[in-house]
Amino acid sequence: MNLKGKKILLGVSGSIAAYKSALLVRLLVKAEAEVRVVMSQSAKEFITPLTLSTLSKNPVLLSFTKSETGEWNNHVELGLWADLMIIAPATAKTLSKCATGHCDDLLTAIYFSARCPVYFAPAMDVDMFRHPSTQQNMRQLVAYGNFFVYPEHGELASGLIGDGRLAEPENIIKVLDSHFAKQPSAVSKRVLITAGPTVEPIDPVRFISNRSSGKMGYAMAEAFAAAGAQVTLVSGPTHLKAFNANISTVHVETAHQMFEAAEDHFGESDLVIFAAAVADYAPRVVAEQKIKKQGDSMSLDLAKTTDIAGTLGPGKRNGQLIIGFALETENELAHAHDKLVRKNFDYIVLNSLNDPGAGFAHDTNKITVIDKNNNVQQFDLKSKDEVARDILNLVLAQWNEA
């Protein structure tokens, strides 16, 4: 493993998920990393320093001085010692302090002194994680050059189900090990992703659209950017924002605007993922003024929009990969395979609305991937972040074979 001989500083803040830090330390030591642990005072309420010191084979650091001797725990020295720092679990409070410069304990003092890469692995309840202030703090930390191991979807301590569950230690280890690879796995690649719905105006106040949230496309953008790729994300209207500095977002509204943006970046991209839910039809004429209600019925004259994937796919160059998405309600495999062939895809990702928890608006997805050789691979229901990593791994395997 790439972690062998690396100096890892693990910060543990006060979350029920702190119990997982014991396994994380054990896995780091098993990978032959040198581990030192610093805990916030509240973290002691969830796991004992004795446990982590025993597993790490180093004293756990709790405060600026060692109470028995008065000796100083030099936070500057500790920040310079580490090859990598990770705070896992990172609570909403810890994220806020690190994002806003609030340094009031040894853990935050070391963070502000660290010259090494710093990762945060958040853990909190779903509504805390989704709160705009938490999301803003995460964006700010990414802007500062920090990295995230994003939380996973599952049952939380509150009994709710959603995003906010600390990533499993095994998954954290994979991220950290990948960090120390000679270079990120997709560092030389350019990736184009379309995401979200399109909005086709009827008049100044009404439009035709669909239920797409854009979550799947944004999750894939984050996954490929974290792997080192330069990502262009062409996004229809959505409340989502991209975190990673490797993501350049192009905001569009209509199908025509999305086609133009995708066409601009198609030729330069090593990988194109058509994940947007593009309107098939749009009003032929857009009223300049609000249409007044008249009579018992109303008819709209609709014109077919440009088939973005169908238009660009046949122009695929050698070595370029294209992935499409298909949302189906019946004869799913047959319809998806037909779309794969017609649009010259290398892979198509099938979602079925017959699968609970899959499709639009959900935080989860259940996919089936079909490749151009008609190989079919089915995946379990997972968070969209995990699904994005599954798709990333499929692509990386393809690139490694080339």
pLDDT tens digits, residue range 253-265? Answer: 999 999 999 999 9
Q: Look at 329 and 125; give whichever has higher pLDDT.
A: 125
Q: Where are the domains of the chain?
A: 7-179, 190-283+299-401
pTM beyond 0.85: the answer is no
Q: Rounded to an integer, what distance in angstroms lies between the CA atom of residue 144 and that of residue 127?
A: 25
When the pLDDT of each residue in the chain is averaged and rounded to a whole number, the result is 90
Q: Which residues are catalytic?
A: 210
Can 7-179 and 190-283+299-401 be said to share one CATH topology?
yes
- Please state the three-class secondary structure of 194-230 as a single string: EECECCEECCCCCEECCCCCCHHHHHHHHHHHHCCCE
pLDDT over 60 at 148, yes or no: yes
57 is in an annotated binding site: no
Tokens describing residue 15: 């979350």
Q: Which CATH architecture has domain 7-179?
A: 3-Layer(aba) Sandwich (3.40)
Confidence label for 177 from pLDDT (cuts 50, 70 and 90): confident
Neighbours of 157 (CB within 10 A): 13
325 is in an annotated binding site: yes
241 is in an annotated binding site: no
Residue 98 and residue 141 in contact, taking contact as beta carbons nearer than 8 Å: yes
280 is in an annotated binding site: yes
Confidence label for 214 from pLDDT (cuts 50, 70 and 90): very high
According to CATH, the topology of domain 190-283+299-401 is Rossmann fold (3.40.50)
pLDDT digits (tens, 9 = 90+) for 65-123: 666 655 666 777 878 899 999 999 999 999 999 999 999 999 999 999 998 999 999 99
343 is in an annotated binding site: yes
Tokens describing residue 337: 């395979």
pLDDT mean over 147-174: 88
pLDDT digits (tens, 9 = 90+) for 282-308: 999 999 999 998 888 989 999 999 999
Q: Rounded to an integer, what distance in angstroms lies between the CA atom of residue 379 and that of residue 335?
A: 19
pLDDT at res. 360:
65
Q: Which residues pair with 326 in a beta bridge?
A: 350
Vertex 63 angle, CA 59 and 65, to 5°: 85
Task: Output Rg (C-alpha) for the chain, integer angstroms.
Answer: 24
